[in-house]
Amino acid sequence: MSLNTVRHDYKITKKDRENLNGHRSLLLWFTGLSGSGKSTLANLVEMELHKKGVSTFVLDGDNVRQGINKDLSFAPEDRTENIRRIAEIGHLMVEAGVVTLAAFVSPYIEDRENIKNIVGVDNFIEIYINTSLKECERRDVKGLYKKARAGEIKNMTGISAPYEAPTNPDIEIVTDNQDVETSVQTILDFIIQKIK
């Protein structure tokens, strides 16, 4: 924290904003390998929440890296900074009263624990999109695994960089053998109870 700044407390609170919206705000953190279905599921869950009148916003790994985090690489220290910045943005969104869906590989347990410290444990839902590396490579939506196997991409999670799976996620979705509709409904059933 800068020594030359002073925190200002404003009269309108997170609770005031939640009351105005008619629901609680949370950070829904979708983690898993590239190609696991994080962005797809976040998008579909947001669509269903929107239909129910819930104020939402999606933060997506690729989109964020094209803007606020375009100065970061995929080296471990930059991955950590990427997640720290997103956690801070997520915290602001939750304070604004918005159910925020964040879809990021976020491969390190320590980084995901730090998110909880930033946004608060009560505001954080960890959703592990547990898709096997074999299935992610089969899908290879962006062609990243093929490039990584050819040595064209360094620090590719699951290939040349580790992915530390959550040990106790709030929700675990195994997409290898579960259709998208069932996955979305499983997440919604859990979330709706939390935001009422």
∠ CA 175-86-120, rounded to 5°: 90
The token duo for 147 is 């490039």
Read off φ and ψ for residue 101, nearest 5 degrees: -110, 120
Nearest-angstrom CA–CA distance, 93 and 172: 24
**Active-site pick, 34, 39, 106, 183:** 106
Burial 26-42 (b: 16+ CB within 10 A, else e): bbbbbbbbbbbbbbbbb
Nearest-angstrom CA–CA distance, 161 and 192: 35
Alpha-helix runs per DSSP H in the chain:
14-21, 38-51, 61-65, 76-95, 109-119, 133-139, 144-149, 180-195
Contact of 146 with 54, CB cutoff 8 Å: no
160 assigned to active site: no
Residue with structure tokens 């979708």?
30
- Report the catalytic residues: 106
